[in-house]
Structure 1
Amino acid sequence: MPQHYPFTAVVGSDDMTLALLLTTVSPEIGGVLVRGEKGTAKSTAVRALAAVLPPIDVVAGDRFSSDPRDAGLSPDGPFAADASVETRPVRLVELPVGATEDRLLGSLHLEKALSSGVAEYEPGLLARAHRGILYVDEVNLLHDHLVDLLLDAAAMGRATVERDGVSVVHAARFVLVGTMNPEEGELRPQLLDRFGLTVEVAAPREPALRTEVVRRRLAFDADPEAFAQGYASPEADLRDRIAAAQALVADVLLGDGALQKIAEICAAFDVDGLRADIVTARTAVAHAAWHGRRHVLREDIRAAALLALPHRRRRNPFDAPGIDEDLLDRLLGDDEPDPEPPRPDEGPDDGADGADGTDGTDGPQQPEAGPGQAPPQDGGERADTSPDSRADGAPSDAPTDAPTDAPTDDSTDDPSDDSTDGGVPAPAGAGTTVGAGAPYRPRLLRVAGTGEGEAGRRSRAITSTGRRIGTTPGRGAGIDLVGTVRAAVPRQFDRGRRGGALVLRSDDLRSAVREGKESNLVLFCVDASGSMAARRRMQQVKTAILSLLLDAYQRRDKVGLVTFRGHEADVALPPTGSVDVAARRLEELPAGGRTPLAEGLLAAADVIRRERLRDPRRRPLLVLVTDGRATAGDDPVERSRRVAEWLADQGVETVVVDCESGPFRLRLAERLATSLRAAYLPVDEVSADVLTVAAGRGGATGRQGVA
């Protein structure tokens, strides 16, 4: 019974299948990152890819899958000239999100070290994936240091291991494929750039196509063997086509004209560095080989640019990846690039092939794609899968384009009046939206004490990476050799050692205790009532929150958003790793109505309680953004005080960001911070630059949770 769904039976994901095929034709492209919502056949397509790849020849018995023609980097070598060769299928190696560094790179063979005193290297997943596919599902949830190791190995084509007394270098050339759901968090831009190609996938919207997807899946689940047999011929044809393209790719001519065009495109789209140019060139060559041509045409460059450039145009995590296809077509023009530079004795048109390829093909005529194969990239229309930055329910008359110098009522703050601009009371259900300004570098907010959460960049914690501060019995995340030896030395006489090798036992093993930094749950609880609705004030508040969101992204935190206005609170965004979703929700946040402060605090407490059940090790940091007013319900001030004291008793670390403005201030938020036993921070001091200035004057005072 086949284990995986046939690759040629995948429908509705043409960009994804094309990118996967091109990177198998030319692994030097650097792998593929597939971004998309859940249920879009990402994992299905990747797992099916290995079955259609041509088999490979390896040195028999070699743990590193060395090519018999080039086995120089195998630690199991050297091999005899007549060493036996075996043919086997290409491996698909899956890297679990929770894998450790020694599982990825390999480490000391513990059993042989303890039993025989021999320091032998035990290969990791990178060695097993050599000349195959290394697949990381939910790559955005992988620890950053593991992603760095992965991408370095993919770029260099080898893995260097210096750990546990082992020093090894071995070949590690593989097709790196990562899949992710952007709703669960983004990759850092530096890591995103290291993936050669990136594609966005979404479920098809056409009913006929969705029907076909469901029909095929049901047929496969009902009888996998019969379903796979029906696609045996297309699978074999695809395998032959991949083998032909792999053999042809080295002979494809990338002329100076094509290189010049690629450079012009990358410069016009303002991508950073030169990796985009290199990847686009390699992808164009692979695309030409895939279509059986010996030189690169305009359509090859276009297809390559659409796969290699969109994710490299992002400047911050809130930018959606994408590319202007109209601009790309204008840059490409209508003329084919010269396959080679003209010789001095030739005119500009001499030797040009026009529409005819040098290999006898009929120019842009392309082979017909089989079931599930990517269609020719001929500049046709593409579905727009980029997320909309504005919710469908947002009011169309929201004054987001009003002048920033419009008259406001920021000069006075009357606690009895929840008013919007101009002093007109806002109805409880009404609201206006105001956009945020450009984010800035905020001061660091962190949880006091030492935690044990996931590795990150915010609060102190005992983690798997960081500064070594001691040892603990057991292997843990890795062996601490010095600690292990120190534990074994006092017992050598009792174990009968009278010279020779150190006698080690399993209870001698020690692992390092390291202090680093953890990621936290940063939960924003935002007052969106009428007292916050003055345009200039709300813009300042949103800018501060956006800056803190960007900081949370860089520190690998989870974020959540609770808002309160009118008579109730709303969980606008449950805890997630996707700060760009939080930024969009913040942008759409309306303001107006009364201030149910107690309800907002209770909703935040409930979110934190649920998250503690889901992830007990992740410590929360509540950022309460308010001017401290409470106007909704019976005796709102006293009720808010009691809820604040109760929340403080729950041990929730809180920072109160005071949004009160104007020359006359009631300092209600500061009193609220006292009840919460929280750090207090005026909104105009959220910026780290303001903190630096204040420190220079000797006027900075810190409280718990604020650095």
Structure 2
Amino acid sequence: MPQQFPFSAVVGSDTTSDFDAAPDFDAAPDFDAAPDFDDMALALVLTTISPGVGGVLVRGEKGTAKSTAVRALAAVLPPIDVIAGDRFSSDPAEADPLSPDGPFGPDAAVETRPVRLVELPVGATEDRVLGSIDLQKALGESTAAYEPGLLARAHRGILYVDEVNLLHDHLVDVLLDAAAMGRVTVERDGISVEHAARFVLVGTMNPEEGELRPQLLDRFGLTVEVSAPRDPAVRVEVVRRRLAFDADPAGFAASYADAEAALTARIRAAQGRVDDVALDDAALLTIAEVCAAFDVDGMRADIVTARTAVAHAAWEGRDRVTSADIRVAARLALPHRRRRNPFDAPGIDEDVLDEVLRDAEPEDPGPDGDGDGPGGGGGLDTPSPSEEARNSVDSAARDGHESDDSTDGAPPAPGVPAPTTVGAGTPYRARLFSVAGTGTGDAGRRSRAITRTGRQIGSRTPDGEPGSIHLPDTIRAAAPRQGGRARRGAALALAPADLRLAVKEGRESNLVLLCVDASGSMAARRRMEQVKTAVLSLLLDAYQRRDKVGLVTFRGHAATVALPPTSSVEVAARRLEELPAGGRTPLAEGLLQAAEVLRVERLRDPRRRALLVVVTDGRATAGASARSRAAQAAASLAGSGVTSIVVDCETGRFTMGLARELAADLGAEYVPLGEITADGLTAVVRAPRTAVA
């Protein structure tokens, strides 16, 4: 087995600054000399001290040791006792463990083993996660036996999902059910099984690759944001340790053996102490005041904060929860629960947190009893630190917005108005639209497709693609061949050639690519604001339905991919907010750029179907031959078979009809609009379209 990078060697998980002098810990936990963990390491440790906290989500850019830290965590956790021979890791201390391998007698053998870290691949099938029929026994012995899945293996351990934001919806639903119930129920293919599944869920993700569904996000007890260190000395230390580990993994791990052992001892001591930590009514009231101050949804935030504060007190060797414990717990448990929509950045204002905690402390009357002492009520006219921080942030935001409104950084040509940047309005709920026909794309919530989940519509012979067994059709295939097979009594004799897998119809995700005219004729503030609002609304809808949305804009003399096809609404909101408008209309360049985006996306994912929405008045003013070049580009797109819509933005009593001609060249549906209104544009895009598969 490859040597694992030590948890205590991850920079941020110890206080050492020199690799040559490995950390020196006593065998027994010394709380005064214990390392000062960063948020990621601390959150991981706290959720293992008290699994009821509910797991950890680590968000951050690539290359920040997220996966390294998680994979190293299991090695420092104290081992657990399990019933020997039980495939479901039942606790011998339980009176009646929920295990299909039971029941177990009072004299059942017990064994001690390390805590498991089970990795759930993003592309795993539902059968692999929940369990399935043991094919070897089904085909060889004609018996239906249950083969446990990853959730059974993760019971009483850690379930790790790297790139959890890319997890398919059907697996997200499975995790939600297991996390909520603490057990897994499997009813399929003639098998009915129920087993315990209590695990610490740890996920890592890069927000630029897409956001997490709110239901799953809320199931993570804690969340932390990580980024690469900016201090050169710290970066040097990271590189030094990594190179040393690669050169001699065993020797490097040995140099941290004492630190790992001391960390294990401290975690064991905290696990033993956590049930005895006192959480009095005053601490509970403070937690409630903190959660109310940040306007979080539901009561899970209060519960998780309380459990985390208790775990932190146990970690610090205290027998009572203090304000310091509550502060740490709130920083880890609240950021992802105060987001009202996916466009909101996670995080909390720590100045506001400190202010709430100060207000919750008993008031000190001061030396003269006038309330002006520490914690008193003096200085009411002075802005609090949190107010100053908010004011400065708001001022910076206003200044930045005003500068964006005036120019995009380049001086305009003589006689040409400067490009302007207009913000979007509030996004709204979009209606469902879908591509006609039946696709084969990734599971989503949009168009009809053959997927791994959904209603069963037929069967197929195995072709290398995974799938669940279609038991009735397997029996039908085997029945006519029983005469020439050796059978055991009345049992059906099965062979590999009899196997049939289910064909299921569900929903797929799609790509909606908007090609938006941002030239001078479109630069009216209200019009551009409505276009951006529509795009943000489509993106929000795509986030909820697991679609991808892209944005190509054209103005001046070129087209720009303002928003590469993505599901990350945070990145999309930032890009759209900065989108300027003004200048000439290079329509051909816009269409060619859209064609290139579609071509690249088709190579990346041939199964994802696309809908192109061109928002323009049809004018082409970038050069003498601009109109003919636009017609050629449109004809080329039409030849590629992409389904298109042209939204005509031309206004006024007298119109030139250029957008209608463009629609004819594209083979697209033409939709006239008096002006681009948010309702008008999205009504077009949201409505069901007749489209080729």
Shorter-chain TM-score above 0.5: yes
Say which of 545, 548, 554 aligns to 2:538: 548
Aligned position for 1:604: 594
- Structure-2 change in CA distance of 1:675 and 1:272 (3 Å): same
Aligned position for 1:446: 434
Post-superposition Cα deviations, 1:626-645, rounded to whole Å, max 9, x if no partner, equal 22211102321122112111
Aligned position for 2:89: 65
Aligned position for 1:697: none
Partner of 1:461: helix, strand, or coil?
A: strand
- Structure-2 change in CA distance of 1:266 and 1:632 (3 Å): same
Post-superposition Cα deviations, 1:350-375, rounded to whole Å, max 9, x if no partner, equal xxxxxxxxxxxxxxxxxxxxxxxxxx
Query: For residue 704 of structure 1, what is the amino acid of its counterpart?
Result: T
Say which of 37, 54, 57 aligns to 1:30: 54
Question: Is the aligned partner of 1:52 residue 2:81?
Answer: no
Decide whether the 8 Å contact of 2:78 with 2:267 is kept in 1.
yes
Partner of 1:656: helix, strand, or coil?
A: strand
Say which of 663, 666, 679 aligns to 1:687: 679
Aligned position for 1:621: 611
- Structure-2 change in CA distance of 1:155 and 1:701 (3 Å): closer
Aligned position for 1:466: 454
Aligned position for 1:398: 404
| % identical aligned pairs | 72
CA distance in 2, matches of 1:388, 1:93: 45
- Structure-2 change in CA distance of 1:584 and 1:388 (3 Å): farther
Query: For residue 115 of structure 1, what is the amino acid of its counterpart?
Result: G
Partner of 1:316: helix, strand, or coil?
A: coil
- Structure-2 change in CA distance of 1:618 and 1:658 (3 Å): same
Aligned position for 1:177: 202
- Structure-2 change in CA distance of 1:528 and 1:268 (3 Å): same
Decide whether the 8 Å contact of 1:653 with 1:678 is kept in 2.
yes
How far 1:304 moved relative to its partner?
Answer: 0.7
CA distance in 2, matches of 1:701, 1:172: 43
Say which of 281, 289, 298 aligns to 2:323: 298
CA distance in 1, matches of 2:156, 2:688: 55
Partner of 1:525: helix, strand, or coil?
A: strand
Partner of 1:289: helix, strand, or coil?
A: helix
Partner of 2:405: helix, strand, or coil?
A: coil
Aligned position for 1:367: none
Partner of 1:462: helix, strand, or coil?
A: strand
Residues 302-321 of structure 1 mapped to structure 2, 5 A cutoff = 302-321=327-346
How far 1:314 moved relative to its partner?
Answer: 1.0
Aligned position for 1:704: 690
Aligned position for 2:253: 228
Moved more, 14-23 or 467-476: 467-476
Decide whether the 8 Å contact of 1:198 with 1:308 is kept in 2.
yes
Aligned length: 632
Partner of 2:93: helix, strand, or coil?
A: coil
Partner of 1:204: helix, strand, or coil?
A: coil
Post-superposition Cα deviations, 1:590-617, rounded to whole Å, max 9, x if no partner, equal 0111011101111111111112112111
CA distance in 2, matches of 1:5, 1:564: 49
Aligned position for 1:364: none
- Structure-2 change in CA distance of 1:688 and 1:51 (3 Å): farther
Post-superposition Cα deviations, 1:55-80, rounded to whole Å, max 9, x if no partner, equal 11111111111111126212111223
Decide whether the 8 Å contact of 2:429 with 2:537 is kept in 1.
yes
Which stretches in structure 2 are left out of the alignment for 5+ residues? 14-37, 364-384
Question: Is the aligned partner of 1:90 residue 2:122?
Answer: no
Query: For residue 465 of structure 1, what is the amino acid of its counterpart?
Result: T
- Structure-2 change in CA distance of 1:581 and 1:601 (3 Å): same
How far 1:679 moved relative to its partner?
Answer: 2.9
How far 1:396 moved relative to its partner?
Answer: 5.7
CA distance in 2, matches of 1:173, 1:389: 47
Post-superposition Cα deviations, 1:97-135, rounded to whole Å, max 9, x if no partner, equal 111111111111121122222222111111111111111
CA distance in 2, matches of 1:607, 1:453: 18
Decide whether the 8 Å contact of 2:100 with 2:193 is kept in 1.
yes
Moved more, 268-277 or 650-659: 650-659
- Structure-2 change in CA distance of 1:441 and 1:501 (3 Å): same
Decide whether the 8 Å contact of 1:454 with 1:618 is kept in 2.
yes
Say which of 75, 85, 108 aligns to 2:100: 75
CA distance in 2, matches of 1:425, 1:466: 59
How far 1:155 moved relative to its partner?
Answer: 3.1
Decide whether the 8 Å contact of 1:680 with 1:703 is kept in 2.
no
- Structure-2 change in CA distance of 1:505 and 1:238 (3 Å): same
Aligned position for 1:362: none
- Structure-2 change in CA distance of 1:390 and 1:91 (3 Å): farther
Aligned position for 1:352: none
How far 1:279 moved relative to its partner?
Answer: 0.8
- Structure-2 change in CA distance of 1:120 and 1:656 (3 Å): same
Post-superposition Cα deviations, 1:463-491, rounded to whole Å, max 9, x if no partner, equal 11122222212284101112222222333
Decide whether the 8 Å contact of 2:539 with 2:567 is kept in 1.
no
- Structure-2 change in CA distance of 1:532 and 1:260 (3 Å): same
CA distance in 2, matches of 1:612, 1:299: 53
Aligned position for 1:580: 570
Moved more, 683-692 or 489-498: 683-692
How far 1:498 moved relative to its partner?
Answer: 10
Decide whether the 8 Å contact of 1:257 with 1:337 is kept in 2.
no
Residues 331-350 of structure 1 mapped to structure 2, 5 A cutoff = 331-333=356-358
Query: For residue 592 of structure 1, what is the amino acid of its counterpart?
Result: G
- Structure-2 change in CA distance of 1:337 and 1:238 (3 Å): farther
Moved more, 34-43 or 185-194: 185-194
How far 1:554 moved relative to its partner?
Answer: 1.3
Query: For residue 27 of structure 1, what is the amino acid of its counterpart?
Result: P
Aligned position for 1:215: 240
Query: For residue 30 of structure 1, what is the amino acid of its counterpart?
Result: G
Partner of 2:619: helix, strand, or coil?
A: coil
CA distance in 1, matches of 2:517, 2:353: 44
Query: For residue 687 of structure 1, what is the amino acid of its counterpart?
Result: D
How far 1:495 moved relative to its partner?
Answer: 3.9
CA distance in 2, matches of 1:54, 1:176: 18
Partner of 1:458: helix, strand, or coil?
A: strand
Say which of 568, 585, 609 aligns to 2:558: 568
**Pairwise CA RMSD of aligned residues?**
3.1
Query: For residue 281 of structure 1, what is the amino acid of its counterpart?
Result: A
Aligned position for 2:9: 9
How far 1:674 moved relative to its partner?
Answer: 2.3
How far 1:260 moved relative to its partner?
Answer: 1.3
Query: For residue 171 of structure 2, what is the amino acid of its counterpart?
Result: L
- Structure-2 change in CA distance of 1:60 and 1:598 (3 Å): same
TM-score where L is the length of structure 2? 0.86
Residues 419-438 of structure 1 mapped to structure 2, 5 A cutoff = 426=416, 430-438=418-426
Post-superposition Cα deviations, 1:316-336, rounded to whole Å, max 9, x if no partner, equal 111111112122112112665
Aligned position for 1:112: 137
CA distance in 2, matches of 1:113, 1:611: 42
Decide whether the 8 Å contact of 1:521 with 1:558 is kept in 2.
yes
Question: Is the aligned partner of 1:557 residue 2:581?
Answer: no
Partner of 1:399: helix, strand, or coil?
A: helix
CA distance in 2, matches of 1:580, 1:328: 24
Partner of 1:203: helix, strand, or coil?
A: coil
Say which of 137, 145, 153 aligns to 2:178: 153
Residues 534-545 of structure 1 mapped to structure 2, 5 A cutoff = 534-545=524-535
Moved more, 20-29 or 213-222: 213-222
- Structure-2 change in CA distance of 1:554 and 1:662 (3 Å): farther
How far 1:701 moved relative to its partner?
Answer: 9.4
Aligned position for 1:671: 661
